[in-house]
Amino acid sequence: MASEKLKGKNIVITGASGGIGAEIAKLCAARGADLVLLARSIDKLQQLESELEHKHGVNVEVFQLDVARTDQVQAVFEQVFRDIGHIDILVNNAGFGVFREAHEAKMDEIKEMFEVNVIGLMACTSMVLPKMRARRFGHIINIASQAGKIATPKSSVYSATKHAVLGYSNALRMELDDYHIQVTTVNPGPIATNFFSIADEKGTYVKSVQRFMLQPDFVARKVVDSMLTRTREINLPRWMNMGSVAYVLFPRLFERIGKKVLNKK
């Protein structure tokens, strides 16, 4: 049973102060997992920590961490290993996007998106790999996006970061297969979270995709259900994944139609 499988497991979640990260944390705690929650907003993490410890009687540790700071990543993960010994599951969830056409994107913004969404994810993964390989056990779950499968206008940089996450994860999965370490990528379409307060300043995208926005608890449940299983990818909603299949088969046609139809930002 899924709930038994996670009992007593050590799960680390980045970007756990809100959105799907916080929802994943709540479900993991409900299934008896001990948690390490990481994000920059320490106050929000502390609030979640006391809520989850109180409600579910699990151990929760929180650390302030900006994943873009690789020195901080190293220090925090070293402390986590000292405190809890090993990590069974790492959920690389921290991330953000800014929707702009490539010619409008500022260099600082481009670098920051890559530093958080890609380098930060790789830095956290690098910290867990040696011990997971030595234990021949573990699960790395990388939250990418449908933007990592289908690039759309005004998400050139964000899409590029999520394509990078998928490329990295696919290679990692092969490297780790003989070590019984699972690698799952999660590719959701739009989810109703604070993500859009940064990504979609004018609110135009949110307005046009409102009717098919996913709820964060639904996405979190799919992620948590996949833990310690051999799930390769989670694509949500399912119908959106058909688009990425069509893209691979008919790229020119897809882009001709997509540049208008998919320009919702």
What residues line the site for ligand NAP (CB under 6 A)? 14-21, 39-41, 65-68, 93-97, 116, 143, 145, 188, 190-191, 193-195
Peptide bond connecting 153 to the previous residue in cis, omega within 30 degrees of 0:
no
Taking the complex as a whole, the smallest distance from the CB of residue 191 to ligand NAP amounts, in Å, to: 4
Which phi and psi (to 5°) does residue 111 adopt? -65, -40
State in angstroms the smallest separation of the CB of 180 from ligand NAP: 26
- Closest alpha carbon to 149 in 172, 170, 125: 170
**Catalytic annotation, pick one of 158, 168, 179, 247:** 158
Per-residue burial over 181-212, b if 16 or more Cβ lie within 10 Å, else e, is bbbbbbbbbbbbbebbeebbeeeebbeebeee
The 3-state DSSP composition of the chain as helix, strand, coil percent (nearest 5) reads: 60, 15, 25
Residue 64 in 3-state DSSP? strand
- State the distance between the two ends of the chain, measured CA to CA, in whole angstroms: 41
Q: Which is nearer to ligand NAP, 95 or 243 (CB)?
A: 95
CB of 179 to ligand NAP, least distance (A): 25
Question: Smallest distance, Å, CB 49 to ligand NAP?
Answer: 13
Respond yes or no: is residue 158 known to be catalytic: yes
Nearer to ligand NAP by Cβ, of 3 and 215: the residue is: 215
Rounded CA-CA distance 41/106 in Å is 25
Q: Which residue has the tokens 């993960």?
A: 77
Nearer to ligand NAP, 135 or 151 (CB): 151
Q: Which residue is nearest to ligand NAP (CB)?
A: 19
Tell me which residues are annotated as active site. 158
